[in-house]
Structure 1
Amino acid sequence: MWVDIFPTSLGPPGPPFIIAARKPSQYVLRCVIWNTKDVILEEEAITGEKMSDIYVQGWMSGVDEKQKTDIHYRSLDGEGNFNWRFVFPFEYQLAEQTMIIKKKEHFWSLDETELRTTPKFIIQIWDNDKFSRDDFIGHLELNLNAMPLPARFSKTCKLTMLPEVGDNVKLVSLFEMKHMKGFWPCYSDTSGKRVLTGKLEMELELVSLAESEERPAGLGRDDPNMYPKLEPPKRPATSFLWFTSPWKTLKFIIWRNYRCLIITTLLVLLLLLLLGLFIYSFPENVTLLLMLIMIIIVNALKKMLK
């Protein structure tokens, strides 16, 4: 217990005020993954084509929950279409500009430990593999307090947009802007050098907990599918999982790449079949031809004798 002592010469003390710790505000980060562009192609199909099965994964730094999109199969040009929503609730201390994370340090801990960290949103692009580990393509880390503005078009989206690379990059706070939409660059530095590995078109919106309850939005394309309403992406006909779609595999993979070879092979087989049938029936054909010649000769002799 604390007791404040005031000298009588200063007169009566002023009104009491609360000195309790500030309570954090509750926010919800909504991220819509619209498309990817110019993603590097990690795999090689059986036809020799370069391709990637693209998906996007995101989470808030320090939080265990990760969310990811569905998979855009067989991207042949680095483009992926998703129309997929991530939703991340979190607590934020505005005065300190820190995110509050409450978690147990160990599974046997009784009480939660409160951690304060910079609110960072981490996004990654991956290549899906069915029979081995997924391949990491690129990532992007955004500090919500000071993040670069997005590019309006994919062709103007470059690594120089990032403060670690470019000079005099303008940084803004999503807590002030509330909403952003455009293209951000993703990169890989596994080789020791930062390389642009894809461009991500996404929309970020920061709302309070009360606003999120007034304007609800579900994960992915689930209900309530609003703010904005997300339609299923219009992916090209070549986007499919090959071993679950044998007809599409024949049409778009085998026929598209080997149709000349297939047609030539079929014609050669047809000619060989006709030649085989002719050889097989050759003696019978010769006999019929000789009989026809004999009949013609006999008829000609009869006419001469008359």
Structure 2
Amino acid sequence: MRLLFAFGLRPAPYANRHALRFHDDLDDHELVEEREFTWWTKFYNSMYWSAAEMCHEHKHRLVIYYEELEKQAQFGYLQDWAVPVQLVHGVKFKKHGPPKEDIYATLKLQLKLTPCQCPVLEDPGGGGDMVRNMSNPIHPRHQSTLQSLGETVKLLVRVYVVQGVQMRPRDVKGDSDCYVKLFLGSKTFSDRAHFSPNHSNPVFGRLFEMEATLPGDHMLQVMVYDHDKIKDEVIGQTNIDLEDRWRTRHRATVGLANEYTKSGYNHWHDVKLPSEILIDLCQKRGIQAPYYYGNVIEVDGMLFGDETLISKDEELQERLSLAVLKNMDKLPSFGYKLVPEHVETRSLCRDDFPNVEQGKLQLWIELFEANIYVPSPIDITPVPPADFEVRVVVKNLVGIQAGDKNIFGKLMSDVYVIGWCEDEDKRQSTDIHYRSFAGDAAFNWRMVFGLKYSPNEDLMVIRRKAGLLEEIEFKKPPIIYLQVWDKDVLTKDEYLAALELNLSNMYAPYPAAQLCKPYPKKRKRINLFKRKVINGWFPLQSNAHPSQRSQAAVQNGKMQLSIEVCTDVEAVNRPAGRGQDPPMALEPPYRPDSSFNPLTHPCKSFQHILWPVIRKYVLWTLLILIVILGLVLFFSNLPAKLMTIPLE
């Protein structure tokens, strides 16, 4: 068996199912240069990974916890090594508040009950039960742990403050000029010079590096202030116990990356490699070192396969070791998870309102020994977005057959298309293609959308006013939304179909309408910010609209589009008008003579709508009238004609 593994033969049936459930083939997409990506690319890609607006699968991601790390049950609340017990010295009574216990210290302890057989004392009545020698010696592993608790450890602490969420303003005018201030022991670190003006969701992107000594400097206090010209006010604060993160078995010092990469925006920034971490854990646990069989690894009697999806060019040994580290809870000798690379969300509170949340702060912490070499920190400085202009020309529609009927019972629809990018309230609309009988519609109508896009984050930045002076900012994938509607006069317009296009990760269109069909999973993807221009046919989606109960009527609809992405400089040099207006005016589309508004053209309505329907009936009526008139005239003149005939 091991000989087969050594040659790399048939390792899949023996590897864990979780590791080998991944297939090797990914969606074919355009090559993306990783040098354009930053840590923010990974952060926002993780934020939208499980949402409907799923981002690129070829980009790395991390874990976002929407609570504090010490509140995660899968890591034992970081209290597996010791449980904090508060030492109370009486109760404090406040004049305008409830009584509060006077906590003067916190004792961290761990109780372990071990059965033992103690010798019988010569004088049982003399006491001394608590000073007996231990009959069972302490395990060497526990002895080393106890010795390490008594030693002083110098740490290098890195605090990465990402962003704030829903900060409560302290000023009457309603805006928040937030900045961060840190306290560790007797040291203070202020970032007042880099405050974020007029934001309830400020993006900080700041790194704070400091030294700490355990167990003395174990409590890190992070405070968020509201910048003011007179006096800065506290918005909220959060406290982080560094000792719990340093001593827990879940290894909360540096999170494990989802994949091992030597360089780039996902570079491995731990002091030890995955293989070194795995060997160290096995030695501490007293089990055999990992054994590699071709494409699998054996640890603690279990086999694991490679889980890498993106960085498959890295060393196989490190990839396999990382796969084991991510599945430590499956090993019999361990049974617990290790902390992954993450961003935690911490609630902010104030002393005067301890139970009222004042906002949230997203950050993560890395801990290193101060006396050894540590890797360079991660640059999380936010990159400002760039201005782009997207020009979408809606050319033709095929297969848009609605269920409306005209007064003569014939199926028809008055089709138009709406589109928007950042804000649905700023949507644009084409003109109406009236009386579409064959399910086809022609527009040749241009929509122009402006957006702020960050290539590093692969997201567009949306800013909206939330008050008189306050402005909120949030980010979404760069998606263009197009919807097809049927215009009705007496009732509400009917929703027919929709199309959502992610400009940075969109399926390649089809060259002809006959070839257009629902996209397969392996359809090629393109990045329009790199390709700039695309033309072709896109299949429409028949998903239900929130305002309507019924499903969309279009099942096989297709839309022909021409999309162009321009930078702000290119848009100024080559301006384009909306609709069919200049500059770069578009030609009016070819439409049948029956395509017009019947309410504004009564003569045309009679000529193209009423007359083609009643024409045969009018002609038959005239023919019958002529026949009847001829017969009447014939029979009315028949007696006179008969009288003129002479009798013989």
TM-score class, shorter-chain normalisation, is 0.7 to 0.9
Partner of 1:25: 386
Check whether the contact 2:403–2:553 (CA below 8 A) recurs between aligned residues.
Answer: no
Change in CA separation of 1:68 and 1:195 when aligned onto 2, cut-off 3 Å: closer
Q: For residues 76 and 119 of structure 1, what CA distance do their matches in structure 2 show?
A: 35
User: In the alignment, does 2:450 pair up with 1:89?
Assistant: yes
Q: Is the 8 A contact 1:45 1:51 kept in 2?
A: yes
Please report how far the alpha carbon of residue 86 of structure 1 lies from its aligned counterpart in structure 2 after TM superposition: 0.3
Distance 1:192 1:128, change over 3 A: closer
Where 1:139 maps in the other structure, the secondary structure is strand
**1:167 to 2:526 alignment:** no
TM-score (norm 2): 0.39
Show the counterpart of 2:599: 243
Of 601, 611, 615, the residue aligned with 1:259 is 615
2:575 counterpart letter in structure 1? P
- Shift in CA distance, 26/63, structure 1 to aligned 2, threshold 3 Å: farther
Pairs within 5 Å for 1:1-306: 2=191, 21-105=382-466, 108-159=467-518, 161=519, 166-190=520-544, 196-224=555-583, 226=584, 229-276=585-632, 286=639, 289-290=642-643, 292-293=644-645, 296=646
Counterpart code for 2:525? L
Q: Relative to total residues, which structure has the larger helix share, 1 or 2?
A: 1
CA 1:266 to 1:192, structure 2 compared with 1: closer, same or farther past 3 Å?
closer
Where 2:446 maps in the other structure, the secondary structure is: strand
Deviation track 1:136-190 (CA, whole Å, cap 9, x = no partner) reads: 110011111211010100111112x2xxxx2222222111111111000112233
Q: How far 1:244 moved relative to its partner? A: 3.0
Distance 1:120 1:288, change over 3 A: closer
Q: CA deviation at 1:132?
A: 1.6
Counterpart-to-counterpart distance in 2, 1:29 and 1:262:
53
Q: Distance in 1 between matches of 2:402 and 2:552?
A: 19
State the partner residue of 2:366: none
CA distance in 1, matches of 2:552, 2:521: 18
Structure 1 gaps of 5+ residues are 7-17, 301-306
How many angstroms does 1:24 deviate by?
1.0
> SS of 2:453's equivalent?
strand
When the two chains are superposed, the root-mean-square deviation of aligned CA atoms in Å is: 2.9
Give the match for residue 304 of structure 1: none
Please tell me whether the aligned partners of residues 126 and 136 of structure 1 are also in contact (alpha carbons under 8 angstroms). Answer: yes
Letter in 1 for 2:592: P
The residue type paired with residue 411 of structure 2 is: K
Distance between the aligned counterparts of 2:532 and 2:494, measured in 1? Answer: 33
Shift of 1:20: 6.2
Q: Are 2:388 and 2:568, in contact at CA under 8 Å, matched by a contact in 1?
A: yes
Structure 2: how far apart are the matches of 1:288 and 1:64?
83
Give the whole-Å Cα distance in 2 for the aligned partners of 1:33 and 1:193: 20
Aligned letter for 2:535? K
Cα 1:260–1:63, aligned 2, differ >3 Å: closer, same or farther?
Answer: closer
User: Structure 1 pair 246/273, CA: closer, same or farther in 2 (3 Å)?
Assistant: farther
Distance 2:556 2:404 in 1: 14
Aligned pair count reads 272
Provide the C-alpha distance between the structure 2 equivalents of 1:167 and 1:206, rounded to a whole number of angstroms.
25
Q: Per the alignment, in what secondary structure is the counterpart of residue 540 of structure 2?
A: strand
State percent identity of aligned pairs.
Answer: 37
- In the TM superposition, residue 261 of structure 1 has moved relative to its aligned partner by 2.5
Q: 1:174 is matched by which residue type in structure 2?
A: L
Q: Is the 8 A contact 1:60 1:88 kept in 2?
A: yes
Cα distance between partner residues in 2 of 1:123 and 1:247: 34
Task: Please give the secondary structure, in 1, of the residue aligned with 2:621.
Answer: helix
Letter matched to residue 127 of structure 1: D
**TM-score, scaled relative to structure 1:** 0.79
The verdict on how the C-alpha distance between 1:288 and 1:271 changes in structure 2, with shifts beyond 3 A counting, is closer
Specify which structure has the bigger relative contact order, considering alpha-carbon pairs within 8 angstroms and separated by 6 or more residues.
1
Specify the SS of the correspondent of 1:188.
coil
Equivalent position SS for 1:115: strand
Rounded to whole Å, the distance in 2 between the matches of 1:251 and 1:259 is 10
* 8 Å Cα contact 2:391/2:449 also seen in 1: yes
What is the CA–CA distance in structure 2 between the aligned matches of 1:182 and 1:28, rounded to whole Å? 20
For 1:139, the aligned partner's letter is: A
> Cα gap change, 1:116/1:237 in structure 2, threshold over 3 Å: closer, same or farther?
same
d(CA) in 2 for partners of 1:194 and 1:246?
30
How far apart, in 2, do the equivalents of 1:128 and 1:134 lie?
A: 5
Q: Name stretches of at least 5 consecutive residues in structure 2 with no aligned partner.
A: 1-189, 194-207, 211-378, 545-549
